Chain A
């Protein structure tokens, strides 16, 4: 049921974003979805019986996590496409998605402990998904640093390689941290699946929230790419002016 809902959502969100080129239309849709999501989270959705009000962070936390995974997947695809087609546009997509992915990853790492403190009784536990998010954060921060630090001629290509290597690493990291955790008994305070068994109202709230996050992701991605393209165009112009002045 939940998988079906997510898939439906993707099929609704994708056309909305890509069919219309008009940015104002997008912003309006995004704005409405966000307002509805906030209304649903704080007023419509029932408060969870055991966890209380803290559970509401789940809507933002999981939505950020899904958006983050999606962003890193976009980096992976765009990196492959860049190496294949050697076009600046794909490089801009990869960079933009990586930046936004790191932002959402940071959100995951902030909202996770806020929820974990009252529920698990500890800010941090080396739970597999938490560990995976942290390692991913480290990899993609390194990705952004490499982009700043590498020599101009090689920058995009190196970043593309790291974008591929980093994503290929994800299943291996997940596998290893899962094996690693099974060695240790789980702390008594931690209860797995604290957020499973959503009621239909909660599920609806979550879906709308996820939709809002994905719309925000696509919006940011588009804006960031257009900024990068403008910058590139500006550089080309400047270069031409220099040539004219010199010639």
Chain B
């Protein structure tokens, strides 16, 4: 049967093999992505589209746009996450490459960690590209609060990647994959979304990091809880 504790022990003792496997898997994913730029391009273009469409939906009221900007940015990121995970899942299920990878792994949660980090890298790239656009279109000075925003975005994309990767692995084995992924992913990530949106909004409104400490705590706890939980149950997902 499954060895629940193995993934934990492996991670906690900083097992060298585990780390090597994570790095190898990550390098494989990023190298493929670097050659095709498939996932990033679709995520980025889609995020830009969301921003533009929301801009039309909200209208020309500058003050209103400034107020809802953080929500729009996070909605764009949520949708981009779903899209990126679907694309990555498609690539993975072509020619059963996932099975091959799983056979080669001693500790299967290495796969989860690698996929999660890859997703974070894509999201980070998307954020770096859309923030200047948001700054220009929504007339928001992001530079003034870039330090705080960095922390909020880091915690946010970590959480989105953790939960997203879990559900992406699950929906690999469903028929209506495109429908199931957002159906599972969006409701479960509600706490993270709320915290991220309001933390970002407060930073944009000129508040300091101390004012959003509650939201940051919420995001940290969300990330820790789900990361630990998924490491425990991950074997059950990939096991045949």
Contacts and interface: CB of A to CB of B under 8 A. Distances in A.
Contacts of A166: 188
B197 to A, nearest CB: 9
Contacts of B60: none
B226 interface: yes
B218 A157 contact: no
Contacts of B112: none
B229 A168 contact: yes
Interface stretch (A7-15, A16-24, A172-180, A193-201): A172-180
Contacts of A160: 236
A162 B222 contact: no
B215 A146 contact: no
Nearest to A141: B183
A145 B183 CA distance: 9
B203 to A, nearest CB: 14
Nearest to A175: B218
Nearest to B221: A172
Given A142-B183, A146-B170, A157-B236, A164 B190 contact: no
B175 A149 contact: yes
B174 A169 contact: no
Interface residues of B, number: 33
A179 B1 CA distance: 42
Interface in B180-226: 180, 183-184, 186-188, 190-192, 194-195, 198, 214-215, 218, 221-222, 225-226
B194 A142 contact: no
Query: Looking at chain A's contact residues, is the secondary structure mostly helix, strand, loop, or mixed?
Result: helix
B233 interface: yes
Contacts of B229: 164-165, 168
A62 interface: no
Contact of A150 (B173, B191, B222): B173
Contact of B191 (A83, A151, A169): A169
Interface of B: 1, 166, 170, 173-176, 179-180, 183-184, 186-188, 190-192, 194-195, 198, 214-215, 218, 221-222, 225-226, 229, 233, 236-237, 239-240
Interface of A: 83, 86, 135, 138-139, 142, 145-146, 149-151, 153-154, 157-158, 160-162, 164-166, 168-169, 172-173, 175-177, 179-180, 183
Given A169-B188, A172-B222, 9 more contacts: A138-B187, A142-B187, A145-B183, A149-B179, A158-B173, A165-B166, A168-B226, A176-B194, A180-B198
